[in-house]
Structure 1
Amino acid sequence: MVITPFIAGCLGALIGLLIALVANVVVLPAVLRAQKEGFVLGRKTALAAMSQEKVARLTRFTYRVPMPVMFAFVGWFAGLTAFGGN
């Protein structure tokens, strides 16, 4: 049946989006705090040439746009595999 793989993929994508949402709510503040402490302590990274605010904006963007898209995409295929759609 054609609808079963679609439902399985949608369920996997939904789970991926929920994981990305939890990462935005729980993990992102901790990451931003660690970055701020790293700038205060003078840690050097590959992004050291950027200002603290630019790095924080880039991190927020990454957590809010590409990460949910990637998690939904991976979740779609995981749903197909795990829930028997394929």
Structure 2
Amino acid sequence: MAGDTALGGPQHAPIGSPERTPSGYRVYTDADAERLRFIKSAQRLGLSLDDIREILAFRDRGELPCGHVRHLVPVRELIVWTVGQERAK
């Protein structure tokens, strides 16, 4: 799947390694699809795959990543706003 590249390669993919059919096709679960939707949404916010992996690691451990996310998102939003202001000049 081309998504392996978008996720940083199969060994680093935040959705893990899916099962395979006897013919070699990957079989993704509904949970995998939900996780991928989260990843794409987080990327649209400007988070890097490393940031997203950290957030998912919190979730996988059953911990709330709220404090970590609050630290990441405002910084990214400020950068986007600043770049936008510079381009407007």
Higher strand share: 2
TM-score, normalised via structure 2 length: 0.29
**Which has more radius of gyration?**
1
- TM (norm. structure 1) is 0.30
Q: Which has the higher contact order (CA 8 A, sep 6+)?
A: 1
